[in-house]
Amino acid sequence: MSSTSSTGQVRVEPPPPPLVKVPRLIQYGGLPPREWKVGRGYSIGEIKALGLSVRDARLLGIYVDERRKTVWQHNIERLREWLIKVLKGEILPPDPTLPKVIKIKRKRGRVFRGLTPAGRRMRGLMSVKLKETHRHKWKKKQKERELKKRHEAVRAKGGH
């Protein structure tokens, strides 16, 4: 089987998936249904055996399972054959498999205080006449409508 297409271009080929042993579970009676399964990624030991660092392996498109500790010789051999093809230029490695960067939204610095007494106090609604907060709110909205303020659109955005 040739790794170049009919047009003569080199094609992208992912690395072979790692094979790992199936755990012996009680539900299988101590005998797993099959001996090997496709793993999540190569262990750090298997990558080090090829003389690569974890970052170099990920840049080559090789998935790395940092939790796995087993080192299987057949995984090293399969990966070595694939690497030799990549170095010769017969095939191209896939895109890097670097970990995803997770962006965390910063804290706004406000506490949600819905209709609790603390929330009403915080919004200045605890004076004698404003105990019934919804009436105060409706009167305020009506006044803004009469003054032709864009009250519904602006308030949610934090405007005036």
83 and 42 housed in the same domain:
yes
10 found inside a domain: no
Distance from C-alpha of 23 to C-alpha of 20, rounded to nearest angstrom = 9
- Considering the domain architecture, whether residues 82 and 137 belong to the same structural domain is answered as no
In this structure, is residue 130 part of a structural domain? yes
pLDDT digits (tens, 9 = 90+) for 136-156: 778 888 888 888 776 565 555
Residue 54 belongs to some domain of the structure:
yes
User: Residues 74-129: pLDDT tens digits?
Assistant: 999 999 999 999 999 898 888 888 887 888 877 777 666 667 777 777 676 666 56
The answer to whether residues 76 and 42 touch, using CB atoms and an 8 Å cutoff, is no
Shared domain check, 122 and 84: no
Asked whether residue 99 is domain-assigned, the answer is: no
Question: How many CB atoms are located within 10 Å of the residue 160 CB?
Answer: 6
Residue 35: give the domain boundaries: 19-88
Q: How many domains does the chain have?
A: 2
